[in-house]
Amino acid sequence: MPSDVSEHDGSTAPDGTPWWELSIQPGTQNKRFGQERRLAAWLWFKKNVGDTFTMRELRAALGPDIADSSEHLNRRLRELRKCDWVIPSQRNDATLAHDEYRLEVKGGKLWIDSERAKYERFAPSARVRRLVMDRDGSRCRVCGLGVDDTYPEDGASVRLTIGHLVPQERLRSRGAKDDMENWRVECSRCNETMRDEVPDPEQYDEVLAGLKRLTSKEAGELLNWMRKGERPRSKVDQAYDRARRLAHRDRAALIEHLAKRVGETS
């Protein structure tokens, strides 16, 4: 593992400070030098491809302003993976110990402004966000949940954001443009899914071929959904949304009431 830094190997800023020890961006008076940049520089110059490292090493190397939290640094590592870095953990490689990571591919040199610019993600303006929300009916286009809904598994409130049909990283690798046609409403949980695992949207011809199996009635139903931009929710769907939020005792009482209403016998 390389342990020494050289003033000629690019590992230091203009003032001679190693990039991973900077707190203020060179050429500015108070603009912070981001933790993601420092992390990338430390891995690039202090680790060889194939080397392993731990969270303890990262916290020690990047200084006291790094939160003493593995999850905090895990988020930073996830951001690096979006910039062509390959850093498996025990989750991806059973040969690694808990809290251990391996550097397999060095990605973008994020401490260099011109390099970092290649990986900047385009963020839609507030106006465009509103347009996308209105177009998609303020519902997640992946799971269908809306802003006033809760997740059925734990009752947590749904938070909506803007996601992409095709990940920006994949578009960038093709030299393709990211625009409103590629944006859609997603809830925060669907948005956090590993985007590289999501296939590209189907093409028109592929979808059209599947429609041949639909009856005229089914095609009409699909036409109605497409025009509305969502699958209409029935009265039963809407009633369930309200009923599932009841307290456990009230839910049990409602189940008993419904059983009697439909003539169910024990």
Question: pLDDT tens for residues 100-145?
Answer: 999 999 998 999 888 887 776 666 778 888 888 888 888 888 888 8
CA separation for the pair 196, 168 (Å, rounded): 10
Q: What pLDDT score was predicted for residue 2?
A: 45
Q: What pLDDT score was predicted for residue 250?
A: 84
CA separation for the pair 150, 157 (Å, rounded): 4
* pTM (predicted TM-score): 0.48
Q: Is residue 40 very low, low, confident or very high in pLDDT (cuts 50, 70, 90)?
A: very high
* Mean pLDDT score, 6-10: 60
Helix ranges (H only) for 47-203 are: 55-62, 70-81, 113-117, 126-135, 168-174, 188-191
Q: What pLDDT score was predicted for residue 5?
A: 43
Q: What pLDDT score was predicted for residue 172?
A: 65
Q: What is the pLDDT of residues 166-225, one digit of tens each?
A: 776 677 666 666 677 778 898 888 876 544 444 555 678 878 888 888 898 888 888 888
Task: Give the CB-side neighbour count of residue 149, counting CA atoms within 13 A.
Answer: 18
Tell me how many degrees the CA angle 185-121-12 measures, rounded to the nearest 5: 150
CA separation for the pair 141, 139 (Å, rounded): 6
pLDDT above 90: residue 42: yes
Q: What pLDDT score was predicted for residue 145?
A: 87
CA separation for the pair 251, 229 (Å, rounded): 32
Q: What is the pLDDT of residues 44-81, one digit of tens each?
A: 999 999 999 988 888 888 776 665 555 667 778 888 88
pLDDT above 80: residue 146: yes
Q: What pLDDT score was predicted for residue 193?
A: 56
Of 29-33, 144-148, 202-206, the range with the lowest mean pLDDT is 202-206
Q: What pLDDT score was predicted for residue 121?
A: 63
Q: What pLDDT score was predicted for residue 103?
A: 94
